[in-house]
Chain A
């Protein structure tokens, strides 16, 4: 866990330095509070805090010295694969829904997620994905009059 904290703190330090540098692209304005002021204050503070986290992580690692990084169990590997699949599934849903619309994109998305949650009953998967799609369609489109993405391939 401390190793992850060290990596995250380095990432945060890089982000905060990048933000600080990017503020030099803002126009220099002689107003009471220029647009650079707040982002610079926040990015500098973030950099300092990330450094503190980094030092805390290093101190802990020195204390516990040569702890071996435990190997990932089979269950952990399964979870990581499923998590990545879920994220990609969600990403493709956002791409697909723009083209084929809510009605056609949503059932496969729900079905895919049910399978990721270890649902093995195929009838239940099919029925649930269709039923939920229809119910949410009724709720959003008909009850709350919220327009949903429509088929727009052509």
Chain B
């Protein structure tokens, strides 16, 4: 079976260390508040660029899964989620730590995360190839409609303000128009500057928007003393008893499937899945009043769900080429940088990559279980790293990362500029993920539109002749209307 070849590839001593490195890096990045899975992927990019595509993508998957789990460590120990998807874990995780059960909380979070990730990987293995088979029948007009759907996800990841999210998305589209026009090859907005003829390089833009802007925010938190003081927590008795474990699985398994399903829907992500799972666990609990005061189920449910989104979010990413959430949006950019274009053609043109991805996701979750249970005391030390050492180091790493792709000082400068832009955006509550979506999907959408119009000899109606394309337009419209409705209900509550 092909999947066995995938496992043999990943377990090979030439490749396994990279998966391990990805998982460890992901856990560390996830555990540090302020650094998310997206930043972790970006910081890994300069390293994976020089690996073969299968190893690179396995390392990224390891980082993705590791970061989703790592957020629970700081959520439990210091009441600050390391990643947004661990926000629900704080509700019961921190009270457990305050009672002296930090070890048990982290142990349960580890088991729940690994289970959620494993179940979602199985779902990924079965669903993605089927969806890709359907998507192989897409022509340029269907792809264009799919990109429009992908771009309407902008509205879903916009956070509180739909207008700001759309502005961020259109800014991303605008950034994507700089450089050679995909249809005619004309150099747009280059002002005869050779560097601008190739457009803004994606990696430095990502590094600036996500990582460098975050460093500026961390400086602000340090100076304005917004960061909490890290308290010592004793970590003992990491493993729950067998009886407790049986009880926990009655929550972990359904939460894992819930997370997988949520992850498949583009524009959702770990945070929504975690809170939904938390609410459901509370609703079905025999003792709902104990939630929020240290109920271990309140840790198990969100952690199973948020790691459940990892495999789920990879389904639309791999089979359709559209990201399931903000982190997979960055992963999409990362994959394209290393020469892999996710989508149905990936299954046809690069089948040698698919099985290592499945095997890599599976083994990443096994590694999370092993590393989490055995070395949690080591990972928790990461939280003690002084900001004055951590963030200057990350700053240099960002610049080296930006430089390494094209050996270009210009790219370092671009990263700095976009770092300032990203900081201004975030301070004014403009989300960054839509910019990434715009930068990545915009050129693809324009390319597919151009192709469709060339084939149809300029007939724009070709975009509306395909039933599949119409389906994507309808769900795009529904997605936008839903976001608008959500905005209005938030505003009317105010």
Interface residue ranges, A against B (CB under 8 Å): 1, 4-5, 8, 12, 16, 19, 22, 26-27, 29, 31-35, 38-39, 42-43, 45-46, 49-50, 52-53, 56, 75-76, 78-79, 82-83, 86-87, 90-91, 93-94, 97-98, 102, 106, 109-110, 113-114, 116-119, 124, 128-129, 132-133, 136, 140, 144-149
Is the CB–CB distance between A38 and B177 below 8 Å? Answer: yes
In the bound complex, residues from chain B placing their C-beta under 8 Å from that of A12 are 167, 171
List the 10 closest pairs (A to B, CB-CB), nearest first.
Answer: A32-B453, A119-B388, A113-B392, A117-B388, A35-B181, A79-B223, A33-B450, A35-B186, A46-B170, A146-B404
In the bound complex, residues from chain A placing their C-beta under 8 Å from that of B393 are 110, 132, 136
Complex interface residues of chain B between 397 and 414 (CB less than 8 A to chain A): 397, 399-400, 403-404, 407, 409, 412-413
Which listed residue (B403, B412, B420) contacts A87, Cβ 8 A? B420
Interface residue ranges, B against A (CB under 8 Å): 46-47, 50, 163-164, 166-167, 170-171, 173-174, 177, 181, 183-184, 186, 188-189, 212, 215-216, 219-220, 222-225, 386-389, 391-393, 395-397, 399-400, 403-404, 407, 409, 412-413, 416, 419-420, 424, 428, 442, 446, 449-450, 453-454, 456-458
A64 → B minimal CB distance (Å): 13
Cβ contacts A to B, 9 pairs, < 8 Å = A12-B171, A29-B184, A33-B449, A79-B219, A82-B219, A86-B215, A87-B416, A114-B389, A129-B392
Is the CB–CB distance between B224 and A75 below 8 Å? Answer: yes
Given contacts A79-B219, A90-B416, contact A110 B177 (CB under 8 A): no
Q: How far is the CA of A146 from the CA of B50 in the complex (A)?
A: 8
Is the CB–CB distance between B223 and A106 below 8 Å? Answer: no
Is the CB–CB distance between B399 and A94 below 8 Å? Answer: yes
Which listed residue (A34, A35, A78, A113) contacts B395, Cβ 8 A? A113
Is the CB–CB distance between A32 and B177 below 8 Å? Answer: no
Which listed residue (A46, A97, A116) contacts B167, Cβ 8 A? A46
Q: In the complex, what residue of chain A is closest to B48 when comparing beta carbons?
A: A144
Is the CB–CB distance between A52 and B163 below 8 Å? Answer: yes
Is the CB–CB distance between A98 and B167 below 8 Å? Answer: no
A71 → B minimal CB distance (Å): 15
Q: How far is the CA of A132 from the CA of B249 in the complex (A)?
A: 44
In the bound complex, residues from chain A placing their C-beta under 8 Å from that of B167 are 12, 46, 49-50, 53
Given contacts A46-B171, A76-B224, contact A136 B453 (CB under 8 A): no
Is the CB–CB distance between A42 and B170 below 8 Å? Answer: yes
Further 9 A-B residue pairs, CB within 8 A, beyond A46-B167, A124-B389: A5-B428, A32-B450, A32-B457, A49-B166, A56-B163, A76-B224, A82-B219, A118-B388, A146-B404
In the bound complex, residues from chain A placing their C-beta under 8 Å from that of B395 are 90, 109-110, 113
Q: How far is the CA of A105 from the CA of B410 in the complex (A)?
A: 16
Given contacts A38-B446, A76-B224, contact A31 B183 (CB under 8 A): yes
Q: How far is the CA of A51 from the CA of B397 in the complex (A)?
A: 39
Is the CB–CB distance between A79 and B388 below 8 Å? Answer: no
Q: How far is the CA of A35 from the CA of B173 in the complex (A)?
A: 14
Is the CB–CB distance between A149 and B404 below 8 Å? Answer: no
Is the CB–CB distance between A117 and B219 below 8 Å? Answer: yes
Q: How far is the CA of A83 from the CA of B222 in the complex (A)?
A: 12
Given contacts A35-B188, A136-B400, contact A49 B222 (CB under 8 A): no
Q: How far is the CA of A97 from the CA of B416 in the complex (A)?
A: 14
A137 → B minimal CB distance (Å): 9
A146 → B minimal CB distance (Å): 5
Is the CB–CB distance between B224 and A79 below 8 Å? Answer: yes
B413 → A minimal CB distance (Å): 5
A79 → B minimal CB distance (Å): 4
Is the CB–CB distance between B400 and A49 below 8 Å? Answer: no
Q: How far is the CA of A82 from the CA of B223 in the complex (A)?
A: 9
Given contacts A33-B450, A46-B174, A117-B387, contact A4 B420 (CB under 8 A): no
Q: How far is the CA of A94 from the CA of B137 in the complex (A)?
A: 48
Given contacts A53-B164, A117-B392, contact A8 B428 (CB under 8 A): yes
Q: How far is the CA of A27 from the CA of B164 in the complex (A)?
A: 33
In the bound complex, residues from chain A placing their C-beta under 8 Å from that of B223 are 75, 78-79, 82, 118
Q: In the complex, what residue of chain B is closest to A45 when comparing beta carbons?
A: B170
Is the CB–CB distance between B222 and A117 below 8 Å? Answer: yes
A43 → B minimal CB distance (Å): 7
Q: How far is the CA of A128 from the CA of B390 in the complex (A)?
A: 10
Q: In the complex, what residue of chain A is closest to B391 when comparing beta carbons?
A: A117
Q: How far is the CA of A43 from the CA of B167 in the complex (A)?
A: 10
Is the CB–CB distance between B458 and A32 below 8 Å? Answer: yes
Q: In the complex, what residue of chain A is closest to B223 when comparing beta carbons?
A: A79
In the bound complex, residues from chain B placing their C-beta under 8 Å from that of A116 are 219
Which listed residue (B47, B181, B454) contacts A32, Cβ 8 A? B454
Q: How far is the CA of A81 from the CA of B386 in the complex (A)?
A: 22
